[in-house]
């Protein structure tokens, strides 16, 4: 029971639950906004009324996701100050600015044009409406950009120095485009697209199977399927590259993620723990399901590449949770 009264653990649990619930909605907001723009372009180009109806239909799901994203995202902003006040005080000069840019630049752009996109069909010209839809999509992607800037900076801090117990920014460009940011944003943006395409395709398939407007939903199903065929392999490639980037820039984090304790000797590849139950006190895994040499292949693209184990790092520098 003492564990449940630990404020650090409770803060982590609260933030984890909030973040897990919140991320479900921006994923679809970003992907759906791009899908709506594509459907509107097709409508203006072909004048096929089905594309217009698709924009109106999927806009309802977009509005629901946007609303839930806002409602679930606001508590996260407060949790940074309430749960992690020391971190906010230390890193606020950059971290707070990044979150501020997300609100002032991305969210306001998205919210500012949302009304025109949803309710301006008979009030503005088609070209202006398309522009509004594009600005909403741009704002949604900009929001992801700034959030990933803040998150990636926590992984690979750059662009400043510590002075009197606070992080002082020397170069905003270096801080924003820190080593982790480009791949982190690309991988997350790809996840938004892929998730949205599967949701659109899945919902379309549900209507088709139940014979509810099958001809109408066949168009969105085909569009989602075709795009997913292109996006899904790209996401696998981005994830593989991102994993190797973590190995290069955060080797102790890589070892902790994979519950990898012992550095593999020369000429022998490191095994990949598909499932493991780590024991931090014993500095070993209680049990593990391993694939020989695969971790070396994933991290170094060679079968016998060296992957540093957790024992290669001081105990104080190891992440607090592994597995």
pLDDT, one tens digit per residue, over 20-51 is 999 999 989 999 999 999 999 999 999 999 99
Query: What's the mean pLDDT in 278-284?
Result: 86
In this predicted structure, the answer to whether residue 101 has a pLDDT above a threshold of 60 is: yes
Distance CA 113, CA 96 (A): 25
Residue pointed to by tokens 């991988």: 187
- Phi/psi of residue 258, nearest 5 degrees: -95, 5
Reported confidence tier of residue 207, pLDDT bands at 50, 70, 90: very high
| DSSP 8-state class, residue 287 | E
Place of tokens 């400043």: 160
- Among the listed residues 239, 189, 146, the one whose alpha carbon sits nearest the alpha carbon of residue 33: 189
Closest C-alpha to 97, from 61, 141, 147, 157: 147
Decide if pLDDT at 82 tops 60. yes
CA angle (200, 204, 209) in 5-degree steps: 150
CA atoms within 13 A on the CB side of 169: 16
Query: Within 10 Å of residue 37's Cβ, how many Cβ atoms?
Result: 19
pLDDT, residue 185, reads 96
Give the angle 96-100-103 at the CA atoms, nearest 5°: 145
Bridge partners (DSSP) listed for residue 285: 278
Euclidean distance between CA atoms 236 and 241, whole angstroms: 9
What average pLDDT does the segment 240-260 reach? 92
The per-residue pLDDT for 321 is 54
Confidence check: pLDDT of 83 > 60? yes
Strand partners, 189: none
Report d(CA 290, CA 275) in Å as an integer: 7
- Chain-centre distance of CA 240, in angstroms? 15
Residue 5 pLDDT level (bands cut at 50, 70, 90): confident
């Amino acid at each position: 029971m003492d564990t449940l009264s630990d404020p650090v653990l409770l803060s982590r649990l609260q933030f984890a639950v909030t973040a897990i619930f919140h991320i479900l909605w921006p994923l679809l907001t970003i992907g759906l906004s791009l899908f709506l723009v594509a459907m509107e372009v097709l409508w203006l180009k072909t004048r096929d009324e089905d594309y217009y109806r698709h924009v109106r239909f999927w806009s309802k799901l977009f509005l629901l996701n946007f609303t839930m994203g806002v409602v679930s995202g606001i508590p996260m902003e407060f949790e940074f100050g309430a749960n992690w006040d020391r971190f906010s005080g230390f890193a606020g000069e950059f971290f707070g600015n990044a979150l501020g840019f997300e609100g002032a630049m991305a969210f306001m752009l998205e919210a500012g044009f949302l009304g025109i996109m949803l309710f301006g069909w008979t009030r503005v010209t088609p070209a202006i409406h398309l522009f509004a839809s594009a600005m909403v999509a741009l704002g949604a992607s900009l929001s992801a950009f700034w959030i990933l800037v803040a998150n990636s900076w926590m992984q690979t801090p750059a662009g400043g120095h510590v002075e009197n117990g606070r992080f002082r920014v020397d170069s905003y460009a270096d801080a924003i485009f820190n080593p982790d940011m480009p791949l982190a944003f690309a991988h997350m943006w790809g996840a938004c697209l892929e998730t949205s395409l599967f949701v659109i395709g899945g919902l379309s398939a549900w209507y088709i199977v139940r014979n509810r407007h099958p001809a109408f939903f066949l168009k969105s199903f085909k569009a989602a399927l075709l795009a997913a065929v292109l996006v899904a392999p790209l996401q696998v490639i981005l994830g593989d590259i991102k994993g190797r980037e973590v190995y290069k820039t955060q080797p102790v984090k890589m070892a902790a993620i994979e519950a990898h304790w012992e550095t593999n000797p020369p000429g022998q590849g490191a095994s990949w723990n598909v499932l493991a139950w780590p024991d931090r006190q014993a500095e070993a895994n209680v049990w593990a399901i391993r694939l020989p040499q695969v971790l070396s292949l994933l991290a170094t693209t060679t079968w016998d590449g060296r992957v540093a184990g957790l024992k290669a790092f001081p105990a104080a520098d190891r992440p607090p949770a592994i597995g």
